Structures are given as C-alpha cells and as structure tokens.
Amino acid sequence: MRHLLSTQDLSREDAVRILDTAEEMAAVGEREVKKLPALRGRTVVNLFFEDSTRTRISFEAAAKRLSADVINFSAKGSSVSKGESLKDTAQTLEAMSADAVVIRHWASGAPERLARSGWIDAAVINAGDGTHEHPTQALLDAFTMRRHWSRLAGSDSTAADLAGMRVAIAGDVLHSRVARSNVWLLKTLGAHVTLVAPPTLLPVGVEHWPCEVSYDLDAVLASGVDAIMMLRVQAERMNDSFFPSTREYSRRWGFDDGRLAALDALGLKDTIILHPGPMNRGLEISSAAADSPRSTVLAQVRNGVSVRMATLYLLLSGDLRRTAPTHGVRAVKIPVEIPETAL
Amino acid sequence: MSSEATAAGSARTVLTAADIDRALTRIAHEILEANKGSQDLVLLGIPRRGYPLAQRLAGKLAATDPSVTAHAIVGQLDVTMFRDDLARQPTRAPERTQLPVTGIDDKVVVLVDDVLYSGRTIRAALDALVDLGRPRAVRLAVLVDRGHRELPIRADHVGKNLPTSSFEKVRVRLSETDGADEVLIEAAQ
Amino acid sequence: MTIEFQTTGTRAAGGSYLIRGAAVLGAERTDLLLQGGRIAAVGTGLDSAGATVVDADGLLALPGMVDLHTHLREPGREDAETVETGTRAAALGGFTAVHAMANSSPVADTAGVVEQVFSLGREAGWVDVRPVGAVTVGLAGERLAELGAMADSRARVRMFSDDGICVSDPVLMRRALEYIKAFDGVIAQHAQEPRLTEGAQMNEGKVSAVLGLAGWPAVAEESIIARDVLLAQHVGSRLHVCHVSTAGSVDILRWAKARGVNVTAEVTPHHLWLTEDLVRSYDPVYKVNPPLRSDEDVRALREALADGTIDVVATDHAPHPSEAKDCEWAQAAMGMTGLETALSVVQHTMIETGMIGWADFARVTSHAPARIGQLPDQGRPLQAGQPANLVLVDPAARWTVQPETMASKGRNSPFRGRELPGAVVATFFRGHPTVLDGELHSPYRDPGVAPARFGSVGTAGAAGTAGAAGGQYGGQ
C-alpha cells in the first residue's frame, strides 16, 4: 500500500491490518504520554481545497501523535485554487520534501490525479474528494462497528471483520463520498449493506453496487439492522428538486424520535446509530437519537484519530525507498547545502 | 517445521526443549533471588517470543512462590514504533502492548526477550517503557545472548551465552509460536 | 455532375506523379497518373515519362478523407491550434478537406470570420478548409447569425453548427432548419439537452455512480435528436447530427431514416473504440463531449456505421494546451485530438473487425462527408478526370501513438501509447503531394491565384449549384 485513495481497491487483508493497527493506536490515546516516535522526521502536509476543520484536526492530531511534522496548506474555494493549479501546488509540496499529502478536494478524483500524475513522490491520502470517496471516514466507521460487533460476540476485535452485520446507510447517497467508501469497505469486511434514500438521491447505476437499495426506512428498520448510519443532507438540495421540503424529507427518511422508539419496540436493543458529522439535528437525525446511548457519534470522532494514525503509520513508517522503487529520486536527495560563509 | 532447518543447510540445535526449560527455571530462581522475593515484580515480554517466555517465567515464579498469581504479573511490551530502524525496514504492523492491571509505576520490571544481539530492541523497549510509567527498576532476562552488542546494554539474566559469528543466524522456536521448543544456529546463506 | 477537366501548364512539369501499383479501395492493383490537379489516367503500365514515380507496392489508394468536424481553434486560441498546424495534422492523417467548426474567438458567425478562416486555409495549402458557420450569434442560442451572408461569402458556407453548444431552443432550431433551405444548407446539431447535462462530467451509469462524477445521461442526447428529426421532417429540411454517441441515438436515427427524414449523422473514431471505463483513471485526456459511453453503445455505433445508419466518421479533433488537461477532471477541458489517428482507429475498429471493407471506408470518410458538406471536388471516385485528392495507405503498418511527435499542437490524444494499424504514406491534394513517405512534403500552392486576388474569385450569386462551385475548386 503506497497511497490510500479509496476503499474500493482495499483488500480485506489491508483493511483488517489498518483496523488492527488502529486498535493499538487507540491504546496510545488512553495513555498519559499520547505520543509515539514512529514518524519522527517525516513531514505530513494537510492540503485542503475545501473547508473541513473536523477532518483536518483529526489528521493533524494523528500525525502529531506519531511525531511527524505537520504543515497545513489551505487552498479552499474553487476560485482561489483555480489561480494555482493542483500540479503547481503538488510540485511546491514536493520541493518542500513532503512525505505524505493528506488531500481534501471538492473535485472527485483529485487525490487519484495527485498520486498517479508523477507530479509528486509523496504518499497520498484521500481525506474526501468531491462526491467520490472518503476512505478514512469509512475506516473509522468500520472500526466503530467492529468494536461494537466484537463486543456483542464477546470476542477480541483484532483480526475480526464484520461478517453477518446488517448495516443500513440512509440519506443523500448520490452526493455522499461517505456512503460510497462505506459500501465498498463494509462489503469487503463481510457486512450486509442496505442503502435507504429517496430515489432522487440515489445514483443511476446504484443497482450494480454490492448492496441492497430501499426507499423505505421503516421497512428496513423492521427487517432488522445492527447499525444505521445517517448521512448528512444539505438543505440546498431542496432547491434542486431532489425532495419537496425538508419537512417531508425528515418525515420519510430522517431518524426521528418515532424511529428511535421503534428500535426499542422492535427489540433491536443493540442497534447503534452512526453519523459522520456534522449533524443537521432535526433534519436527518433528531436530537434525541443523536444524544441517545445508541449514538456512536463521539466514539467515531475519537476513533477517527486512531484510524488516521494507523493509516499514516502504515504508509509512512517503513522504508519509503523500498516501498516505492520507481521513485529513485528520494534515495539521492541532496542534503541541505550549507553556505560557505557559515563554515 | 524441521524442514526449515534442513533447508537452511547447516542448522544445528544448540538448545533442546529440556535445555530451554532448565534455563528458564534457573532464570526464575535468579529473578527471585535478585529481587529478594516476588514483591513488585512485573514481567514484560517483547513480541513475539519474549511474551511466551515471560508467561513461562511467571508460571515458574508462581510455582515457587504461592503468593504470585502468574497472569497478574505478566504483560507484553511492543517496541515496534520505538525502533531506530523503522524507516530502514519494510513497514511492520505494531503488536499489542498490554500491562498488568497494577501498572508499572514503582514496580520492578523484568523485560523478557528471546535473543539479545545488538541491544537496539532493548533500547527501544526502554524508551517505550518511559512513555508508560516510571518503574523503580528495570532488569533484563534473555534466553540467549549471542554477543555483538552495539549499545552499552547487558542482560541481568541469561539462559545461555552463545558465541556466534555475525554471519550466523540464531533461531529460537517456541511451542506457543512455532510448534516446538528449540534454539538453532544457522550458517550464513 | 459534369467535371470540367482543367490543366494548368504551370504545374505540368513539376506536378506530374505516377503512382505505381496501388490497390484502389483495396481491390486490383493499378497505376494512377496525376497531372494538373486531376487524375489523368488509371490503368496498368502507364507511361511514367515526365512524371515523378511513386512506388505504391502494397499500398491502398483511397479518396482523400474529408472531415466534417474539426476544431482548428484559429482565430482566438492559437495556443491550442492554428489553421496551419491543424491542416498539417489533417494532411498527415490522410485528409484533403476539413470543416472548421465555428466556436472560434470571435465566433465564426459572420461572413468576415468565415472568409478569414477560409483564406487562412488557402494560404496554408495543406487541405481544403471549409468553415462551418455558427447557427446563432456568438453561439448564444438567442438569434440566428447571418446564415445567408456566410453562404454567399467566398467561404461558401453550407454547414452551420453551434457545435460545443446545443441549439436547444426548439423554435430557434426550427427556424434555422427552415431558413437554410434557401441555400441548400444543413444544420449540424450538437445534441445535448442543456438542463439534463448541467455540470455533467461523464456518461451517467455504473461508472459515474462509482466515481462520483456528475452524470451525462444518454437521454440528454437522444431527446434532442428525436426532437430534431421530427422538426426536420416537419419543415422538410436537412439535419446532420454531430458525434452520435449512444445506442439509443442510433435507434432514433434508424427510425427517422426509415421514415424518410433527411438526416445524416457522424460518429467519431474515439466513440467507436473507447469506453467510460477509461475514466476510472480520472485522467482528463478521456474527458470529451459527448462523453465516452458504454460497451453496448460502442457496439451499436459500429453496427450503425456499417449498416449506413450513421453516414460518416468525423474526428471532432479538439486540441487543447497541456494545462487544460494537466489538472483535476472537473477543471479539465473537454476534447481529444483525432486527425492523425482517425484512419488507424477506423481500420482497427471497423476494418480489422470485419465490419466494413475499404470501399465502405471510402464512403464513410470521403464520399459521404463530401456530399454532406457539399464539396464537389472532394470524395470523388478514383477515376480518370476526377480531382486528384487521394491518399496512399499502408494497411500492414503498425505504429505506436506518441502525441509529442504529432503535427497538431494538441497533445491530448487518448490513444497515447497504443499500437495502431495502418499508416498514411502519401496524401495528394489537388494532385500535389502534401505528404510523402509518411512525412509532410509541401503545401499546395495555387499558381494562378495570389491570396490578394481571392476577392475576385467570384462569389457570384450564380454559384448556387454544386456544379458551378466545382469549377471554383478545380484548379485555378
């Protein structure tokens, strides 16, 4: 593994390895000294073309706990970024000897371009690209689900997958990178996934995905789910006629108090509720649901740091020359020149 | 399993299962003697083979001293992320670090490993330990000391001193991890 | 049609070529004597006296290819392509005529601009450059450009298109179709329903769903074609559909032709081969309008070209400077180069699959496009007395596409690194070798007419028939 660009090309072995490593990283977060020397001397650049304070600080905390140097590079706003191309930015980072670039971009596929174009040598980690993927989010969701699933089974989560777990993902699937990354990863880990959304918010072609699709949240809940993930819905979608009103949306597809009560009535006492945040309380999720003991929202945030530590560690700790044989440049990097006057 | 040894050509057994057991029994007694009893002892095995060795030592301590509960004094200390050669090797996944519930503060920690060689693993272990707490003392027990130290580190308890050439490879096999107990020396390939 | 046989003594000495042993349309081997811009004789054992002999052993002779859809970018985007570089690429690709699309800057929506492009083409001398006029002023889709003035200009525009943008207003489309009947024109429609394709990035389907790229549904193309064939039938006019890309479009065209609608259609070489799966790389070299579609679409397009539902292959050659492609997919420009690979790609996709033969190749790359574009001197059979626009092809050649070595300024070839069959060995434009031995030779220079005198070439209103226009292009 040289980059983390999507969960679609992540093998079960790699996925479990990341989750297992994240378990060890999680232990570090519980210690007095929450720091490891593993990435001393490595430079991680957070390259954000789109605002996302939550994701950025999660990656920043992860890198710092591994003793890497972190540079935050914000190029938010498409009009601003149009001035300097992705290529120029990448080459700037290359000149600064970045070992990893954590990229968040409004354009689907931008991380793939960065990784494959030859503009830069660094490992590329996709921190969310357009409506394509958000692999570390899916990994932290899977991590959260795996802990829950293993606890129910009374077994150690290490080396485990999600075989047999029933997961529903509800909301704006069409525009959701979180949904895409989760569908592939959960499938790889053996979970059974059902997408629930208004038909307007499902992509054409969804019938080829390794999951089931439903328009009826209540029916899906009634059929039994072990985890339900609510996706964020942007109110402005209403203006594009994806649904008639936010009220109608939340009535049909939101996780409201009635559905929270329904879980109890259905005897689904162990069903957890996930949300990638930030939440629109009262739209896709009610406050009672978000704050209920079933909600894993805060655990997800916490687990995000562990999973990102694991990702950074696995991509960056080894011999970069060996893992990237085509990038011989790194091996012959010229040491910093000292001006003669300084001698 | 044994085909591995044969494949290597000139592998020879230097410790048998019985030798290993005797060595561990002796080390257990040395630990008790050096510590003047079992008080405050914590045995931390370094993955992978240090951990089963630590468990076996704890078992022997418990057999000698009924006040010792073996599993309560054993833990595992992963040093992967503290290694000084991390960036020179292919990426390795970290192993679990698990301390006894008592923690290590003010304890006498005995680090347990299978082979002592350059001393770099033990240096990493000492660093890892510092981040976990402050033991009263740290000691080192190894099954085999093969020499060639690169750091000023020595073991307090040694199962067997094995003078080796640096071209040779010392292979420790334990029933818990490898299906059988033995120590082999393999010639350089 | 009567073709006037003209000879100009000025070129007789240096302009005589004897092509020896070429297989015309892949059939029997024969000699062709080119003289005075025409094919003077066809037969075996022709006398080579005074002529330069071109050994065509193992080569095919085909009528010079005619492209109905070329973006030459001049005026306005000379960084992307110029008439000079684009027509060099055309000659190397085996073309003797190209239709320059109207989306230049300024837009080719007046007689002035189309005459400028026409003159640039003549000065370059590599191929016939036929400007396409815009349908609406500034391609804005609001009011008709002066179609008649462009038709009457020296450029003699017959094809009109807002290509790049769809004439989506049904009333405007109807009026345009009606109006061009006055001078036997044709509207070449870029069929793309704009509301259905807002922000669209690639074909809508299973790949777009995975890649998270905004979908470009087939229905956005098909609904416009369906509307336009009905409009063309209703007003009794001539419609040409640019770059058909879906199986559904093919069905509609087949239906319309069966009903007798006067509609023709083109397909690009890239849509005959490449599919949306290439977009998985997010490499914008595969970003094109209309987008690459599915396997089923490619199959339907090939069948339609073979059975005549689709009349012609047109390149939609769309060069871009490298920075327009060296970026994120969403930021990248749409378009691919195609002039220098068209022949090979059609050979690979249509001939080597056994779907068509070389005579069909001549139909879809030369005869039919010349007829649609109303170029009387192009797309003629390779017979004595016909204009000597022809190309010699080595069908056994294999070559690897290297965009950096191409004559086009554009490096955005989606075929980079692919091995293709068939190579253009020579191109004769008006009897003059623009390409010899696979390399540019020299442009055609009309000895009788200096550029300054173009104005006198007579845009006389009498030039209302194709036959009269023939004399104009013949060889003055």
Two structure tokens written together for B186: 């393999």
A16 and A99 together in one domain: yes
Is chain C touching chain B, with at least 3 CB–CB pairs below 8 Å? no
Q: What band does C228 get if pLDDT is binned at 50, 70 and 90?
A: very high
- H-only helix segments in C93-152: 111-124, 147-152
Give A139-165 pLDDT, tens digit per residue: 999 999 999 999 999 999 999 999 999
What count of CB pairs under 8 Å joins A to B? 59
A231 and A308 together in one domain: no
- What pLDDT sits at residue B21? 97
Nearest to C289 by CA among C200, C409, C418, C159: C200
Cis peptide before A276 (omega within 30 of 0): no
In a domain, B145, yes or no: yes
- Between strands A192-196 and A166-170, the pairing is parallel
In a domain, B66, yes or no: yes
- Kindly report the backbone phi and psi dihedral angles of residue A162, in degrees, each rounded to the nearest multiple of 5, phi listed first: -115, 30
Q: Tokens 């094919």 map to which residue?
A: C39
> Is pLDDT at C467 greater than 60 in this prediction?
no
In a domain, B95, yes or no: yes
In a domain, B179, yes or no: no
Distance in angstroms (rounded) separating the CA atoms of residues A152 and A46: 37
Angle at the Cα of C74 from the Cα atoms of C70 and C78, rounded to 5 degrees: 115
Find the farthest-apart pair of alpha carbons in chain A and give their distance in angstroms, rounded. Answer: 79
Distance in angstroms (rounded) separating the CA atoms of residues C71 and C476: 27
> Is pLDDT at C473 greater than 90 in this prediction?
no
Give A12-53 pLDDT, tens digit per residue: 999 999 999 999 999 988 888 889 999 999 999 999 998 889
Across the interface, whether the CB atoms of B127 and A27 are under 8 A apart is answered no
Distance in angstroms (rounded) separating the CA atoms of residues C285 and C413: 7
Q: How far is CA C189 from the centre of its chain?
A: 15
Nearest to C330 among A108, A204, A205 (CB): A108
Domain count, chain A: 2
In a domain, C365, yes or no: yes
Q: Tokens 């020149």 map to which residue?
A: A337
On chain A, the residues whose CB falls within 8 A of the CB of C210 are: 8, 180, 205, 209
Residues of chain B with pLDDT under 50: 1-8
In a domain, B183, yes or no: no
First to last CA, chain A: 43
Query: Which segment of A315-329, B3-17, C282-296 scores lowest on mean pLDDT?
Result: A315-329
> Is pLDDT at C93 greater than 70 in this prediction?
yes
- What pLDDT sits at residue A82? 53
User: What residue in B sits closest to A41 (Cα-Cα)?
Assistant: B87
Q: Amino acid letter at C189?
A: Q
Alpha-carbon torsion, ordered C228, C229, C232, C235, to 10 deg:
-90
Across the interface, whether the CB atoms of C205 and A180 are under 8 A apart is answered no
C16 within 8 A of C38, measured Cβ to Cβ: no
Distance in angstroms (rounded) separating the CA atoms of residues B159 and C137: 94
B147 within 8 A of B132, measured Cβ to Cβ: no
Beta bridge partners of B172: B183
Cis peptide before C291 (omega within 30 of 0): no
A279 within 8 A of A285, measured Cβ to Cβ: yes
In a domain, A152, yes or no: yes
Beta bridge partners of A228: A168, A273
User: What residue in B sits closest to A23 (Cα-Cα)?
Assistant: B96
Nearest to C20 by CA among C65, C50, C51: C51
Give A278-318 pLDDT, tens digit per residue: 999 999 999 999 999 999 999 999 999 999 999 999 999 88
- Between strands A123-129 and A100-105, the pairing is parallel
Instruction: Provide the CATH number for the domain around residue B94.
Output: 3.40.50.2020
Give C349-384 pLDDT, tens digit per residue: 999 999 999 999 999 999 999 999 999 999 999 999
CB within 8 A of C262, min separation 6: which ones? C232, C233, C236, C237, C238, C239
- Fill in the DSSP letter of residue C183: G
Is chain B touching chain A, with at least 3 CB–CB pairs below 8 Å? yes
Q: Does A131 touch chain C (CB under 8 A)?
A: yes
A67 and A100 together in one domain: yes
A161 and A113 together in one domain: no
Distance in angstroms (rounded) separating the CA atoms of residues A36 and A34: 7
Neighbours of C445 (CB within 10 A): 12
As a whole number, the mean pLDDT across chain A is 89
Q: Amino acid letter at C230?
A: L
Q: At what angle do helices A297-316 and A135-153 cross, to 10 degrees?
A: 110
- Kindly report the backbone phi and psi dihedral angles of residue A31, in degrees, each rounded to the nearest multiple of 5, phi listed first: -90, 170
Q: What is residue C436's three-state secondary structure?
A: strand
A320 and A272 together in one domain: no
Instruction: Provide the CATH number for the domain around residue A242.
Output: 3.40.50.1370
Instruction: Provide the CATH number for the domain around residue C98.
Output: 3.20.20.140
Neighbours of B187 (CB within 10 A): 13
> Is pLDDT at C6 greater than 80 in this prediction?
no
In a domain, A1, yes or no: no
> Is pLDDT at C274 greater than 80 in this prediction?
yes
Distance in angstroms (rounded) separating the CA atoms of residues C271 and C269: 6
A257 and A308 together in one domain: no
Query: Which residue numbers of C are catalytic?
Result: 316
A30 and A155 together in one domain: no
A67 and A202 together in one domain: no
- What pLDDT sits at residue C448? 62
A6 within 8 A of A181, measured Cβ to Cβ: yes
Distance in angstroms (rounded) separating the CA atoms of residues C380 and C368: 10
Across the interface, whether the CB atoms of A38 and B90 are under 8 A apart is answered no
C224 within 8 A of C193, measured Cβ to Cβ: yes
In a domain, A295, yes or no: yes
In a domain, B73, yes or no: yes
Nearest to C179 by CA among C221, C136, C139: C136
C144 within 8 A of C135, measured Cβ to Cβ: yes
Nearest to A15 by CA among C148, B93, C173: B93
> Is pLDDT at A204 greater than 90 in this prediction?
yes
- What pLDDT sits at residue A78? 43
Distance in angstroms (rounded) separating the CA atoms of residues A264 and C388: 86
Distance in angstroms (rounded) separating the CA atoms of residues C431 and C285: 36
> Is pLDDT at C280 greater than 70 in this prediction?
yes
> Domain containing B61: what range?
16-167
> Is pLDDT at C465 greater than 60 in this prediction?
no
Distance in angstroms (rounded) separating the CA atoms of residues B63 and B84: 38
User: Mutate which of A313, A314, A315, A320 to disrupt the B interface (most B C-beta within 10 Å)?
Assistant: A313
Q: What band does C400 get if pLDDT is binned at 50, 70 and 90?
A: very high
Cis peptide before A37 (omega within 30 of 0): no
Q: Which chains touch C (3 or more CB pairs under 8 A)?
A: A
Nearest to B43 by CA among B151, B157, B121: B157
Query: Which segment of A75-84, B73-82, C289-298 scores lowest on mean pLDDT?
Result: A75-84
C313 within 8 A of C362, measured Cβ to Cβ: no
Q: Tokens 């290993």 map to which residue?
A: B20
Q: Read out DSSP for A305-321?
A: HHHHHHHHHHHHSS-HH
A180 and A271 together in one domain: yes
> Domain containing A28: what range?
12-134+300-342
Query: Which segment of A112-121, B141-150, C125-134, C205-214 scores lowest on mean pLDDT?
Result: A112-121
- Between strands C419-429 and C432-436, the pairing is antiparallel
Distance in angstroms (rounded) separating the CA atoms of residues B168 and C284: 55
Give C411-447 pLDDT, tens digit per residue: 999 999 999 999 999 999 999 999 999 999 999 997 7
Give C18-74 pLDDT, tens digit per residue: 999 999 999 989 999 999 999 999 999 898 889 999 999 999 999 999 999 999 999
Neighbours of A96 (CB within 10 A): 12
- The H-or-E segment that residue C55 falls in is strand C52-55
A284 and A145 together in one domain: yes
- Between strands B74-76 and B137-145, the pairing is unpaired
A236 within 8 A of A280, measured Cβ to Cβ: no
Give C444-455 pLDDT, tens digit per residue: 997 765 444 344
In a domain, B173, yes or no: no
Nearest CA-CA distance, residue A99 and chain B, Å: 12
Beta bridge partners of C436: C439
Nearest CA-CA distance, residue A113 and chain C, Å: 7
Exposure letters A133-169 (e unless 16+ CB within 10 A, then b): bbbbbbbbbbbbbbbbbbeeeeeebeebbbeebbbbb
Long-range contacts from C275-280, C-beta under 8 angstroms, 24+ separation: C276/C202, C276/C203, C276/C205, C276/C207, C276/C208, C277/C207, C278/C414, C279/C202, C279/C203, C279/C207, C279/C208, C279/C211, C279/C213, C279/C329, C280/C207, C280/C210, C280/C211
Nearest to C70 by CA among C122, C131, C118: C131
In a domain, A146, yes or no: yes
- The H-or-E segment that residue C89 falls in is helix C83-92
> Domain containing C207: what range?
64-381+400-414
Nearest to B24 by CA among B43, B2, B11: B43
User: What residue in B sits closest to A16 (Cα-Cα)?
Assistant: B93
Secondary-structure breakdown of chain B: helix, strand, coil percentages, each rounded to the nearest 5: 35, 25, 40
In a domain, A5, yes or no: no
Cis peptide before B48 (omega within 30 of 0): yes
Nearest CA-CA distance, residue A208 and chain C, Å: 6
- What pLDDT sits at residue A236? 75
Model's pTM, two decimal places?
0.88
On chain B, the residues whose CB falls within 8 A of the CB of A31 are: 131-132
A125 and A218 together in one domain: no
Give C131-162 pLDDT, tens digit per residue: 999 999 999 999 999 999 999 999 999 999 99
Residues counted in chain B: 189
In a domain, B79, yes or no: yes
Q: What band does A83 get if pLDDT is binned at 50, 70 and 90?
A: low
Q: Which chains touch A (3 or more CB pairs under 8 A)?
A: B, C
Give, in order, the Cα–Cα distances in Å from C344 to each of A292, C174, C370.
65, 38, 20
A274 and A142 together in one domain: yes
> Is pLDDT at A87 greater than 50 in this prediction?
yes
Cis peptide before A278 (omega within 30 of 0): yes
Domain count, chain B: 1
Q: Tokens 């071109």 map to which residue?
A: C54
Domain count, chain C: 1
